[in-house]
Amino acid sequence: QEQLVESGGGSFQAGGSLRLSCAASAYPVSPYVYMAWFRQAPGKDREAVAVMARTNQKSYYADSVKGRATISQDNAKKTLYLQMNNLKPEDSAMYYCAAGPTSGYDWYDPRRFNAWGQGTQVTVSS
């Protein structure tokens, strides 16, 4: 089982930027070919923010963050990143790193992923 640890959360101002990191104990490893960032606000469902296929680095983004977010990786550092600009108060949530194998689920479905970090809190104030 892959071990994932998120960092980089905190308090931010609207219009600012953040960069979250996800360190893996063994990165990359098979069969975890998909890496993702999810977020969950109190009382809300967990939603996919960005997903990347490590095999070809093809990425997918939620409509709410398109044009503002970039998911990337550094294999040498065994780290996944989420860069997000022009932060909005509605971006406030607990952000989770996740990993999973190929499956029949859609790219945004959390059921696709079977390794999760503990999360890092992001709070955006206006």
What is the structure's pLDDT at 29? 56
What is the amino acid identity at position 115?
A
What is the structure's pLDDT at 54? 78
Could you tell me how far CA 109 lies from the centroid of its own chain? Answer: 13
Cα of first residue to Cα of last residue in the chain, in angstroms, is 39
What is the structure's pLDDT at 24? 83
Asked if residues 24 and 88 have their Cβ atoms less than 8 Å apart, the reply is no
58-61/47-53 β-pairing: antiparallel
| Average model confidence (pLDDT) across the chain | 91
Model confidence pLDDT, tens digit, residues 29-73:
556 788 999 999 999 999 999 999 877 778 999 999 999 999 998
Percent of the chain predicted with pLDDT > 70:
93
Per this entry, what is the length of the chain? Answer: 126
Look at residue 13 and tell me whether its pLDDT is greater than 90.
yes
